[in-house]
Amino acid sequence: SQPRTTDGYDYASYHTFSEITSFMDMLVQEKPNFVSKLVIGKSYEGRPLNVLKFSTGANRPGIWIDTGIHAREWVTPASGTWFAKKIVSDYGHDTVLTAILDKFDIFLEIVTNPDGFHFTHTSNRMWRKTRKPNDGSICVGVDANRNWDAGFGGAGSSNNPCSETYRGPSAHSEPEVKAIVDFVKSHGNLKAFVSIHSYSQMLLYPYGYTRTPCKDQAELDELAKKAVTDLKSLYGTNYKYGSIINVIYQASGGTIDWTYNQGIKYSYTFELRDTGRYGFMLPANQIIPTAEETWLALMAIMEHTKNNPY
């Protein structure tokens, strides 16, 4: 029942990790001069941490997008898959995306937490964390979005391995996080970093661990406003936007706080759409509308990144 091309892939359905991996391989096979698959590390259970690289030239600055760091947020990797196909389909046809890709590489990690994602398909649909056992505890896994070295261990994360927001024993203790850290550092020239979650319809920028506004807050706020306005233009979906600590709550050790502190100015995190009825159980017929509207916001961020070099 496997599709033979990415045109035959069912973007309006949820898929397993192996199906998504096959999709990535097909995409690379179809566009070998444009798309490549990097393996930036291995998960605790040994699954590859795959990143699609979309590139039209050498030595370009990069834009990073990741989806699915929390396992049960299925609509995020599903949207990521749609984004990958969209990038390939639109390059050379959409002038804005083409201009972006003529200057930047795009890196897309569709399943950031493959062990957790696999676990949601096989054992517990409501699993959120990674799957590494914790020494001295019967509880498994770490909240990978509390494991970054940005206010690590502060308020808004837990030191209890049984908590859903367990931060882990030390910053970057999780191989899924460490792999991204190493990639970001070794690349050295990422200009935007977007980490996508679901649900609750928010577009957020740093910080989460401190009330001190980040130094680019005015610009990030203005861009967030533009992005959510573009997003809303398609289906009328309302998003809140602002800094993590002001819009949601204090959260220490978060992804984009770390990336911002690394010098990646355009660091954002999304919480994708919720129809108000399903939460993490968003029906599959919502995948494409979710991806379509999110794409507009992503384009706003990527285009702004292109037009505002730093």
Partner 1 sequence: KETFEGHQVLRIIPISEVQINLLKELSKQDHLLLDFWTEPIHDSLAVDVRVPFHSLQAVRAFLGYHEIHYEIMIHDLQDLMDEEQREMMKSRA
Residue closer to partner 1, measured from CB, 165 or 259? 165
Binding of residue 248 to partner 1 (CB under 8 A):
yes
Residue closer to partner 1, measured from CB, 250 or 259? 250
Which of the stretches 59-67, 89-97, 208-216, 277-285 binds partner 1 when contact is defined by CB under 8 A? 277-285
Q: How far is the CB of 44 from partner 1 (least distance, A)?
A: 20
**Binder of partner 1 out of 95, 123, 186, 238 (CB under 8 A):** 123
Question: What amino acid positions are annotated as catalytic residues?
Answer: 271
Residue closer to partner 1, measured from CB, 15 or 86? 15
User: CA 205, CA 239: separation in Å to the nearest integer?
Assistant: 13
Q: How far is the CB of 100 from partner 1 (least distance, A)?
A: 32
Site string for partner 1, 188-207 (x = CB under 8 A): ------------x-------
How many residues at the interface with partner 1, by CB under 8 A? 23
Binding of residue 88 to partner 1 (CB under 8 A):
no
Binding of residue 211 to partner 1 (CB under 8 A):
no
Q: How far is the CB of 286 from partner 1 (least distance, A)?
A: 11
- DSSP secondary structure, the chain, as one string: ---SSTTSS-TTS---HHHHHHHHHHHHHH-TTTEEEEEEEE-TTS-EEEEEEE-SSSS--EEEEEE-SSTT-THHHHHHHHHHHHHHHHTTTSHHHHHHHTT-EEEEES-S-HHHHHHHHHT-TT--S---B-TT-S-B---GGG-SSSSTTSTTSBS-TTSTTB--SSTT-SHHHHHHHHHHHHH--EEEEEEEEESS-EEEES-SS-SSPPTTHHHHHHHHHHHHHHHHHHH----EEEEHHHHT---SS-HHHHHHHTT-SEEEEEEE---SS-GGG--GGGHHHHHHHHHHHHHHHHHHHHHS--
Q: How far is the CB of 121 from partner 1 (least distance, A)?
A: 9
Binding of residue 22 to partner 1 (CB under 8 A):
no
Q: How far is the CB of 211 from partner 1 (least distance, A)?
A: 14
**Binder of partner 1 out of 29, 263, 281, 308 (CB under 8 A):** 281
Contact positions toward partner 1, by CB under 8 A? 1, 10, 12-15, 122-126, 164, 200, 248-249, 276-281, 283-284
